[in-house]
Amino acid sequence: MDTPATLPPATRKKPARRTILIGSLIALLAVAAVGGVAWYLTHRDPAAQGAGGRSGGRPSTTVGVATATAADMPVILDALGTVMPAASVTVRPQVGGVLQQILFREGETVRAGQVLATIDPRQFELVLMQASGQRQRDEAQLASAKVTLERFKTLLAQDSIARQEVDTQQALVKQLEGTVLSDRATEGTARLNLGYSKITAPIAGRVGLRAVDAGNVVNPGDAAGIVVITQLTPIDVQFAVPQDRVTDVLERSAGKAELAVTVFDRTRVTLLATGRFSTLDNLIDVQTGTVKAKARFSNDKMTLFPNQFVNVRLQLRTITGAVTIPVTALRHGSKGDFVYVLNSDRTAGMRLVTRGQADVDKVEITSGLKLGERVVTEGGDRLSDGAAVSLPGDKPGGKGKRNGAAVAVGADGKPVPAGERRRRPQPAAAP
């Protein structure tokens, strides 16, 4: 057999021609594929692009709109507040001794003057008896001295006694009168201490947990005392007013009308109570730039509890007939606040506005917008001034929908079946 080295030259060139033919065929197939893709992109069905077609040669953005309406806009001051009892007292003994009885239940409501506990009264009873005996003895001496003074005055009138003795007796009477007066004070103190052996409630309110049990020796200097009483009805809420709003609050509170205050829980969902504004503090806190304020609530349903954190809403006044739009329609730019207004030709126009009061859902527009104009509330982040827009439910020209899917429309206005769209190209949509 001949080896490749002994083959003639014509035989060795045949593999090179075969390679050239295969390469040319592959190049033709690639060109044909690129042409097919280009034809598909230029002649594909416009309905396959969905609702985001073109209007007037520009992309159309689907947006949500709302109408500027007239509404009464309340001027609200929102703040974080803390529930404070109208009065809070730590009940401490005013005399020292052994705590004999506890006469209250923890957590119950007590009235002012109710006996809460007693201290062993025997030592105070004995002191009172001693003071009373001392007073009676000195009163007897005073009575005797007064009788002697009257006798001396009679003898002096008869010139039977020296005036010096009368003056001395008169001084003794005055001395004994002072002694009796001091004795009466001592007796009163002893009687007062005996009364302090009964520990009473200074205010009406709810008692907390007792700090000491019966049998312990208590003293007036005990920091914890016996128990703490807090007054829950009525109750106060303390909150902070920004210094820029102090003038508004003062002007409104100076009138005869009462400012309504409502408090909500931490989620701002549940209304806890409704009350009235009480007063402002007399100093601005330099660290926070706010002034402390207080509102009072009847708290009949016991929905407020001391040291509870609440959200406070103070209504200063109400703006009647304000032009309002949803909060989502208002946007902020380098030139200030603006909105996108829906024009009659289905384009969005950017318009600068001036905002006023606002709440959770609505914002007041004081200038730049009229009643009845429609503004964009959703999709505004994809818009620019003069951009074409479409509304939810609009049917773009040249297209329809079948079962929620986009379908092509023929020249006769009837939908073209999917099979036909594959067999024949559809005319391009009108610009």
Q: How far is CA 228 from CA 107, 111, 149, 167, in A?
A: 10, 14, 58, 59
Q: How far is CA 268 from CA 82, 126, 366, in A?
A: 14, 62, 27
* pLDDT for the residue 87: 94
Band the pLDDT of 428: cuts 50, 70, 90. Answer: very low
* pLDDT for the residue 298: 94
pLDDT in tens, 278-290: 999 999 999 999 9
* pLDDT for the residue 403: 37
418 touches 405 (CB < 8 A): no
Tell whether the model's pLDDT for residue 239 goes beyond 90.
Answer: yes
Q: What is the helix, strand, coil percentage profile of the chain, to 5?
A: 30, 35, 35
| Average pLDDT score over residue span 59-80 | 88
Per-chain mean pLDDT for the chain: 83
Tell whether the model's pLDDT for residue 245 goes beyond 50.
Answer: yes
Residue 285 neighbours by CB under 8 Å, 6+ apart: 240, 291, 292
pLDDT in tens, 139-179: 999 999 999 999 999 998 988 888 999 999 999 999 999 99
The hierarchical CATH code for the domain 88-229 is: 2.40.50.100
Separation of alpha carbons 390 and 177, rounded Å? 106
| Average pLDDT score over residue span 390-410 | 50
Which overall architecture, per CATH, does domain 61-86+237-303+311-395 show?
Answer: Beta Barrel (2.40)
**Torsion angle of C-alpha atoms 379, 381, 387, 389, degrees rounded to 10:** 0
Q: Which residues pair with 70 in a beta bridge?
A: 323
Q: Which residues pair with 287 in a beta bridge?
A: none
Stronger pLDDT, 391 or 176, i.e. the higher one: 176
CA-wise closest residue to 264 among 304, 299, 293, 228: 304
Percentage of the chain beyond pLDDT 90 is: 58
Which pTM was predicted?
Answer: 0.62
Tell whether the model's pLDDT for residue 406 goes beyond 80.
Answer: no
Measured in degrees and rounded to the nearest 5, phi and psi for residue 284 equal: -95, 130
* pLDDT for the residue 382: 85
Tell whether the model's pLDDT for residue 415 goes beyond 50.
Answer: no
- HSE value, Cβ hemisphere, 13 Å, CA-based, for 365: 26
pLDDT in tens, 86-117: 999 999 999 999 999 999 999 999 999 999 99
pLDDT in tens, 6-57: 445 444 445 567 777 787 778 888 888 877 777 666 555 443 343 344 444 5
249 touches 314 (CB < 8 A): yes
